[in-house]
Amino acid sequence: MKITPVKGRPMLQWVGKRPIDTVNNYPAQLAEVYDVDNPETEPTYENFRLGPNLMFQGDNKEILSTLLVQGFRGKIDLIYIDPPFASGADYVRKVALRGKREKLAAEGHSVAEQMQYTDIWANDTYLQFMFERLILMRELLSDKGSIYLHCDPTMSHYLKLIMDEIFGGGNFVNEIVWKYNWASTVKKKFSQKHDTIFWYAKSPDDWIFNLDEMREPYTESQLKGYKQDERGYYTLDSSGKKWYAHPKGQLPSDLFEIGIISRSAKERQNYPTQKPEALVGRIIKASSNEDSIVLDCFAGSGTTAVAAEKLGRRWIAADLNKGAIQTTMKRIQTRLDAPRGIAHYRVNNYDVSTDIELKRIVIAKYGVATDRKELFFDGTLDRTLVKIVDLTKPLTRLNIQHIKDELDERPDEARDVTVLCNGSELGFQEELNTENQRRPINKIIVRDIGREGITTFEPPQAKVDFDVNRDKQSVTLTIRDYISPTILDRLDIERTVFDEHIEDFRAQIDCVLLDTAYTGEHFTIVESDVPEKKSDFIKGKYTVSLPRPDARVAVKIIDMLGEETIVTE
């Protein structure tokens, strides 16, 4: 899919600067739903209009690209983002095992994930990161849409120039100052008491702004000496002239005086970069309507989703960090009385346990044209035959020999063959390249999905016993054991000596979720076990009712680093 060139004159250069001219689609994998019947396998604009709100986990560049491909181009009325500020602050979530004082650095294995969440950047890398994503966001905005970019003095001057280039300087609407009270100790400088929010519109001529809803009440001193007429206006005679004050209040200011979240506030999530609901809600109320879609692709603690839900807007949220996804999902479910359903998808951060699951994702990603009549090859791609080998194992010489044997049975077949694999034997690619130089037809071209950007991860391992009573439609499940490869890696513990370091395996587990009618396609939360204190363990044994005798039970275990695993009976 093509991308519209940037609008403004380049005013800022950096090493590696390059615009995006096309986007690649990464298929979405349905991971979890809340209060949703018959969720869609792939979220598209058409099924979103009447369906649930959307939560995505993955690199937001890939998520934004997927939204464009799935029909959301020009459909988003408001984008609010609170991206990393390149401040050098370390925002990696530090979490302790339950019952332990030692803390672990959290969240994922990839460099991209660590870079986005820790907020530690080289300037050129950060600028290119933001440049690419802002281009994609512009494509998603509607003709009356707006984008609000929240930043601080660390990078605000650079980001302003990038926004001018992408959206056009004439589309700049406001520089909003969020003034807050923060008890900080500084030496030889003024204490920082504000952040900056840049507001740009998609069109220079028209954008959504609900002026009357944003008017601010007059103070008593301002109204002193005024009289209210029959129309509700306040009037005052001065030097023979009459001045009218609007009955709904004075014009709103670009100075937002909204305090930070207090320690006792119900909305507080102990998330390091959490912003107040009042701040984000003010922006949503100003620049979106009740039928608008609001997008936040740096979701963090989920404040945008919560504020949009409260104001009756449809929303899409995304974050790379598992902790952000889990915080947002729990916050929506526990803080709001009757939220709209949520469908949670993964984009290029796939949790696959079978070759069939991964093959479906690869076919969608590469656009392989399948043919049910073809018994050996999986389809065609770019005028080549396609063979997808077992994606849970590396490509072997035996795999290639099977392809050659099949081609020998088809002497009239002149097409080349594309082999899609997930890793290969050492030195194998060089051998194939040498063979291809001697082969006039039926060249074998190997494409490694891992090297080309498709990401999977090793899930944790859990042992769960299920005692099912079909007659009474109930089940008792007991979690017997749990090991997280991520936690082992963080603690630098060998699996053989795991029990010597962690006395109770439940110390690794943050919470347990139950689905009593699991379909295998997604997870529906029916019951949960979330210990109130960090020193408490999950119960580990649960008895639940089944909705019908043949219902399938599943347990989702989320550990202290945010990794998830699902076990079924």
> Which CATH number goes with the domain that contains 546?
2.60.40
398-432 in b/e form (b: 16+ CB < 10 A) is ebbeebeebbeeeeeeeebbbbbbbebeeebeeeb
Q: Are residue 211 and residue 292 in the same domain, yes or no?
A: yes
Structural domain includes residue 310: yes
| pLDDT tens for the 569 residues of the chain, in order | 778 878 777 888 998 899 888 887 889 999 888 888 888 888 999 999 889 999 999 889 999 999 999 999 999 999 999 998 765 444 444 445 666 555 544 443 333 333 334 444 567 888 998 999 999 999 999 999 999 999 988 889 999 999 999 999 999 999 999 999 876 677 788 888 899 999 999 999 899 999 999 998 888 777 776 777 777 777 765 544 566 677 788 889 999 999 888 888 888 887 778 899 999 999 999 999 999 999 999 999 999 999 999 999 999 999 988 778 888 888 888 777 777 889 999 998 787 767 788 888 899 889 999 988 888 999 999 999 999 998 888 888 899 999 999 999 999 999 999 999 988 877 777 788 888 888 888 999 999 998 888 877 666 889 999 998 888 889 999 999 998 876 776 666 555 655 666 778 888 888 899 999 998 777 888 888 888 777 788 999 999 999 998 899 999 998 877 777 889 98
Q: Are residue 266 and residue 408 in the same domain, yes or no?
A: no
Q: Are residue 541 and residue 496 in the same domain, yes or no?
A: yes
Q: Are residue 468 and residue 493 in the same domain, yes or no?
A: yes
The whole-angstrom separation of Cα 25 and Cα 41 is: 15
Of the candidates 53, 69, 50, 59, the one whose C-alpha atom is nearest the C-alpha of residue 140 is 69
User: Collapsing DSSP states into helix, strand and coil, what is residue 318?
Assistant: strand
Q: Are residue 212 and residue 226 in the same domain, yes or no?
A: no
Q: Are residue 271 and residue 316 in the same domain, yes or no?
A: yes
| Residue 331: CATH number of its domain | 3.40.50.150
The answer to whether 141 and 72 are in contact (CB under 8 A) is: no
* Burial of 334 from C-beta contacts in 10 A (0-12 / 13-18 / 19+): exposed
Structural domain includes residue 427: yes
Structural domain includes residue 456: no
Q: Residue 426: left (phi > 0), alpha (psi -120 to 50), or beta?
A: beta
The answer to whether 168 and 7 are in contact (CB under 8 A) is: yes
Residue with tokens 């879609």: 293
Residue with tokens 């699902």: 566
Q: Are residue 365 and residue 416 in the same domain, yes or no?
A: yes
Q: Are residue 376 and residue 522 in the same domain, yes or no?
A: no
**Which pTM value belongs to this model?**
0.75
Q: Are residue 257 and residue 244 in the same domain, yes or no?
A: no
351-378 in b/e form (b: 16+ CB < 10 A) is bbeeeebbbebbbbbbebeeeeeeeebb
- For residue 99, the one-letter residue type is G
Structural domain includes residue 2: no
Of 330, 347, 364, which marks where a domain is finished? 347
Q: What tokens were used for 130?
A: 């933001």
Of 347, 378, 409, which marks where a domain is finished? 347
The answer to whether 406 and 396 are in contact (CB under 8 A) is: no
DSSP 81-133: E----------PPEEEPTT---EEE-S-S-HHHHHHHHT---HHHHHHHHHHH
| Residues forming beta bridges with residue 50, ordered by sequence position | none
Say how many residues make up the chain. 569
Number of domains in the chain: 4
Centre a 10 Å sphere on the Cβ of residue 564 and count the other Cβ atoms it contains. 19
Structural domain includes residue 184: yes
Of 281, 313, 347, which marks where a domain is finished? 347
Q: What angle do CA 114, 119, 122 make, to 5 degrees?
A: 95
Q: Are residue 313 and residue 377 in the same domain, yes or no?
A: no
Q: Are residue 334 and residue 309 in the same domain, yes or no?
A: yes
Residues 6+ apart with CB under 8 A from 443: 416, 417, 436
Structural domain includes residue 94: no
Q: Are residue 200 and residue 274 in the same domain, yes or no?
A: yes
The answer to whether 456 and 442 are in contact (CB under 8 A) is: no
Distances (CA, A) of 562 to 318, 487, 508, 517, 566: 16, 10, 10, 24, 13
Distances (CA, A) of 496 to 88, 460, 462, 500: 38, 16, 16, 9
Structural domain includes residue 15: no
Residues 6+ apart with CB under 8 A from 238: none
Structural domain includes residue 110: no
First to last CA, the chain: 43
Range of the domain at 227: 221-248
